[in-house]
Amino acid sequence: MTVTELDIPADAAPAPLALAKAALFLDLDGTLAPIVARPQDVVADPRRTGILESLMRGLEGRLAVVSGRTLCDIDRILEGRVPAVAAVHGLVRRGADGVVTQTEPHPALPEAVAALRLFAAGHPGMIVEDKGLSATLHYRGDPQHAQVARREAERIAARTGLMLQPGDMVAELRTPGPTKGDSVEAFLAHAPFAGATPIFLGDDLTDEDGFAAAERLGGYGVLVGRKRATAARLRLDDVEAALSWLEAAR
């Protein structure tokens, strides 16, 4: 994966989305929903659900959500409206046919969860999330200790053999396995996605594999948020801009 600082002007939003030959791959937090300090505080939203339902019809099912959240959490937030989902950054994948495949959890995950919880207990504002296939330390609620949190996650990763996946104010220790980019490739190998042009929307470092996969497979990535080094070709300012762009698709 190559991540470079692209020369994206501040107003370089993508052209209006044409649905005829597109396949959409959408991150959730920071793309379809605002990022909040406590992940459990993100709830279903009628507008977002309506946009996704409309896109599902227009795309004839060629839409997948590709998120770091668990499958159950994604279904809760999106009210079960999207059949094709890659969860936990690609470690769990549910096809458009409803069949679920997932990686076996790393045996050291319980140790990592316990170590992160012990660390977080001394830092009010930090939250540990056990996703079954990964353990995530959220430190958005304690930003002054971000560097300390990252170092602790690095130590635990080195000790346990888990893969450290950094993100926006999170450090995730995950079972080695498929990425978001791998999920895009897997979806495109089967109906209804096969033969379509992949478009990946995301905001975080964890979405870079998805951007790169979309570009490699004849499509493109769209970064949601401020300009930064990225493999995405285009950019939208924020969640509201992303929802409005999707809402206007024809």
- What is the sign, positive or negative, of the torsion defined by CA atoms of 192, 197, 199, 205? positive
- Asked if 7 is an active-site residue, the reply is no
How far is Cα 216 from Cα 191, in angstroms, rounded to an integer?
Answer: 19
E strand spans, 112-211: 127-130, 134-138, 163-167, 170-174, 197-202
Query: What residue type is assigned to position 217 of the chain?
Result: L
CA atoms within 13 A on the CB side of 6: 18
Contact predicate 128/117, CB 8 Å: yes
How far is Cα 117 from Cα 27, in angstroms, rounded to an integer?
Answer: 27
Query: What residue type is assigned to position 162 of the chain?
Result: L
Contact predicate 169/138, CB 8 Å: yes
Which residues make Cβ contacts (< 8 Å) with residue 241, sequence separation at least 6? 13, 224
Q: What does residue 7 show for φ and ψ, rounded to 5 degrees? A: -85, 75
Choosing from 27, 29, 142, 209, the catalytic residue is 27
Q: Show the tokens assigned to 157.
A: 């990763």
Which residues make Cβ contacts (< 8 Å) with residue 226, sequence separation at least 6? none
Please give the positions annotated as active site. Answer: 27
